[in-house]
């Protein structure tokens, strides 16, 4: 039996995106203000304590690159899910204010964190997830009140309002942080991948894997939801269940990403859009391609952030905003 055209399309497109992601993950740690060589970094003759190349590679740059991969893939795929769910290509974790909700959650955990550590659940990702879930709950209520998804006007206004609201609360919480924390928090709020250890990645990873598992199931339902909720129902979809799964999993992905890298903006809007231009609109291709392309994109942005004003290292959110702001405006003025 011939393979289905969709399977052929997956085989023809995904290896390219995977290759791009691998090149970024391998190449990312090699670039920076100090040039290092892979050969020396992996030279077993030199002990790690004396191997400067290995230290830069494994301690400074590799966790940062992996953070870029995880944060980029989560924000990009969460963007795809929000767009499909709300039937609006301008939806994303950042434009909806969900990233800001997650940031507030993570800040509360960082500032008052000690008191929740006893639960055994890592406080920052969990609080970040709860923050994004609260923000998403507001979006969900709006979307339900409007029945057929969100119009662009409502979506943009809601996003602006949510961002302003959560930013005010973030400033309020920051008021309680001590002076030493403030600089670190400010950088993180701009979107910064300088994690300097593997620990935040390992704590966020399980949440990300759960989100990805739900996304895999959601891909086909998201195609049906593009028809509108009622038609999705007459195509045999349990619409309420699919919508809830999408809201919770996209919150999970956003929360996990923000707990690692802060509210990095625009990845969730740029990547899904570029991916759709390349592979079409079927979510079964768009979602995995966005995961891979999002990872490669954010690593590339971070390389620029680390080198453009070397030896100064910019927060990566500055770069994504410089690219994403004009891109978003172009989406707005473009013929629908």
**Which residues lie near other proteins (CB under 8 A)?**
1-2, 4-7, 83-84, 87-89, 149, 216-217, 220, 223-224, 226-228, 230-231, 233-238, 276, 280-282, 284
Q: Which is nearer to other proteins, 161 or 234 (CB)?
A: 234
Q: Which two tokens stand for residue 133?
A: 């879930």
Least distance in Å: CB of 97 to other proteins?
A: 20
As measured in angstroms, the least distance from the Cβ of 61 to other proteins is: 37
C-alpha 173/C-alpha 178 separation (Å) is 11
Give the nearest distance from C-beta 333 to other proteins in angstroms: 18
Rounded to 5°, angle at Cα 102 from 174 and 120:
90
> Rounded distance, CA 104 to CA 1, Å?
53
Give the CA distances from residue 81 to residues 38, 70, 297, in Å, rounded to whole numbers and listed in that order: 38, 16, 18
| Residue 96 or 256 having the CB closest to other proteins | 96
Distance CA 2, CA 217 (A): 24
CB of 262 to other proteins, least distance (A): 29
Q: How far apart are CA 288 and CA 113, in angstroms?
A: 34
Residue found by looking up tokens 């989560």 in the block: 74
Q: Report yes or no: 72 and 267 within 8 Å, Cβ to Cβ.
A: yes
Nearer to other proteins, 101 or 221 (CB): 221
Residue 63 or 84 with smaller CB distance to other proteins: 84
**Between the CA of residue 7 and those of 14, 217, 294, what are the distances in Å?**
10, 16, 22
Supply the minimum distance, in Å, between the C-beta of residue 231 and other proteins: 6
Shorter beta-carbon distance to other proteins: residue 23 or 216: 216
Q: Tell me if the bond preceding 311 is cis, omega within 30° of 0.
A: yes
For other proteins, the closer of residues 237 and 267 by Cβ is 237
- Return the residue matching tokens 């759960």: 210
Q: DSSP states of 39-52 as a string?
A: HHHT-TTS-GGG-H
What is the smallest separation between the CB atom of 253 and other proteins, expressed in angstroms?
20
- Is the CB of 111 or the CB of 281 nearer to other proteins? 281
* Residue number, 171 or 216, with CB nearest to other proteins: 216
For 203, residues 6+ apart whose C-beta sits below 8 A from its C-beta are: 122, 124, 125, 259
Burial per residue of 152-166, b for 16 or more beta-carbon CB atoms within 10 angstroms, e otherwise = eebbbebbeebbebb
Q: What's the min distance (Å) between Cβ of 230 and other proteins?
A: 6
Q: What is the Cα–Cα distance from 114 to 21, expressed in whole angstroms?
A: 36
- Shortest Å distance, C-beta 7 to other proteins: 6
336: tokens are: 């629908």
Query: Nearer to other proteins by C-beta: 31 or 227?
Result: 227
- List the structure tokens of 303: 């390389």
- Structure tokens, 268: 């969730």
* Smallest separation (angstroms) from other proteins to the CB of 136: 18
């Amino acid at each position: 039996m011939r393979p289905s055209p969709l399977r052929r399309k997956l085989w023809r497109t995904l290896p390219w995106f995977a290759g791009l992601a691998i090149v970024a993950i391998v190449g990312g740690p090699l670039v920076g203000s100090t040039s290092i060589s892979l050969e020396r970094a992996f030279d077993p003759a030199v002990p790690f304590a004396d191997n400067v190349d290995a230290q830069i590679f494994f301690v400074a740059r590799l966790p940062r690159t992996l953070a870029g991969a995880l944060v980029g893939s989560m924000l990009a795929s969460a963007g795809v899910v929000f767009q499909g769910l709300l039937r609006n290509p301008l939806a994303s974790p950042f434009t909806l204010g969900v990233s800001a909700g997650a940031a507030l959650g993570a800040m509360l955990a960082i500032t008052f964190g000690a008191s929740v550590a006893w639960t055994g659940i890592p406080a920052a990702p969990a609080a970040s997830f709860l923050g994004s879930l609260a923000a998403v709950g507001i979006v969900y209520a709006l979307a339900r009140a409007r029945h057929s998804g969100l119009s662009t006007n409502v979506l943009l206004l809601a996003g602006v309002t949510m961002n302003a609201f959560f930013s005010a609360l973030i400033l309020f919480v920051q008021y309680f942080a001590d002076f030493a924390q403030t600089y670190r928090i400010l950088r993180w709020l701009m979107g910064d991948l300088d994690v300097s250890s593997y620990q935040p990645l390992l704590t966020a990873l399980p949440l990300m894997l759960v989100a990805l598992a739900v996304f895999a199931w959601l891909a086909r339902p998201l195609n049906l939801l593009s028809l509108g909720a009622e038609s999705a129902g007459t195509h045999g979809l349990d619409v309420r269940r699919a919508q809830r799964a999408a809201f919770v999993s996209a919150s999970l992905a956003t929360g996990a990403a923000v707990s690692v890298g802060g509210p990095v903006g625009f990845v969730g809007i740029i990547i899904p859009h570029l991916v759709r231009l390349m592979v079409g609109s079927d979510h079964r291709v768009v979602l995995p391609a966005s995961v891979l392309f999002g990872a490669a994109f954010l690593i590339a942005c971070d390389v620029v952030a680390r080198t453009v004003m070397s030896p100064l290292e910019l927060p990566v959110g500055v770069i994504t905003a410089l690219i994403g702001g004009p891109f978003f405006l172009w989406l707005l003025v473009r013929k629908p």
